[in-house]
Amino acid sequence: MADLVVTAALVFCILAASTHFVTAALAIYRVSASRSSSRGRRFEPVSIVRPICGIDHFDEMTLRSTFELDAKGYEIVFCAAREDDAAVLLVRRLMAEYPDIDARLLIGDDRPTSNPKLNNIVKGWAAAKHQWIVLADNNVLMPAWYLDDLFRSFEPGVGLVCSPPVGSHPIGFWAELECAFLNTYQARWQSAADAIGFGFAQGKSMLWRRDILDDAGGIEALGAEIAEDAAATKIVRAHGLDVRIVDRPFAQPLGPRSISQVWDRQVRWARLRRATFPVFYAPEILTGCSLPAASAMIAATGFDVDPLLALSALLTFWYGTEATLARAAGWHMRWQSPFAWMLRDALLPVLWVEGWAGNTFVWRGNDMSVAKEDGEGAVPGASRTLAVTSKII
Backbone angles phi, psi at 243, to 5 degrees: -95, 130
The CATH code of the domain that includes 75 is 3.90.550.10
Contact assessment for residue 76 and residue 133, using Cβ atoms and an 8 Å cutoff: no
Contact between 141 and 250 (Cβ < 8 Å): yes
How many structural domains comprise the chain?
Answer: 2
| pLDDT tens digits for range 10-39 | 999 999 999 999 999 999 998 887 655 544
Phi, psi of 203 (to 5 degrees): -75, -5
Percent of the chain surpassing pLDDT 90: 71
Q: Largest Cα–Cα distance in the chain?
A: 75
Same domain, 234 and 351: no
The domain in which residue 151 lies consists of 40-262
Report d(CA 265, CA 272) in Å as an integer: 11
CB atoms within 10 A of CB 172: 15
Residue 67 lies in a domain: yes
Q: For 90-124, how does the pLDDT look when each residue is reduced to its tens digit (9 = 90+)?
A: 999 999 999 999 999 999 988 888 788 889 999 99
Question: Positive or negative CA dihedral for 112, 158, 138, 186?
Answer: positive
Question: Is the distance from CB of 268 to CB of 282 less than 8 angstroms?
Answer: no
Same domain membership, residue 60 and residue 20: no
Q: What are residue 362's DSSP bridge partners?
A: 367
Does residue 392 surpass a pLDDT of 60?
no
R_g over Cα of the chain: 22
- Indicate whether 257 and 285 sit together in one domain: no
With CA atoms as reference, report the closest residue to 204 among 262, 269, 139, 144.
Answer: 139
pLDDT level of residue 183 (50, 70, 90 thresholds): very high
Domain co-membership, 236 together with 303:
no
Q: Which residues pair with 148 in a beta bridge?
A: none
For residues 58 and 103, state if they share a domain.
Answer: yes
d(C-alpha 371, C-alpha 112), whole Å: 19
Helices (H) and strands (E) in the chain, counts: 14, 12
The bridge status of strand 205-209 relative to strand 132-136 is: antiparallel
Residues 114 and 217 in one domain: yes
| Same domain, yes or no: 18 and 67 | no
Same domain as 237, residue 352: no
Residue 274 within a domain: no
* Count of alpha carbons within 13 angstroms of residue 93, beta-carbon side: 10
Task: Looking at the structure, tell me whether residues 85 and 11 fall in a common domain.
Answer: no
If asked whether residues 166 and 249 sit together in one domain, one would say: yes
Relative to beta strand 46-51, strand 158-163 is unpaired
Give the model confidence (pLDDT) of 207-234 as tens digits. 999 999 999 988 999 988 877 888 999 9
Instruction: Give the mean pLDDT of the chain.
Output: 88
SS3 category, 166? strand
In a domain, 311, yes or no: yes
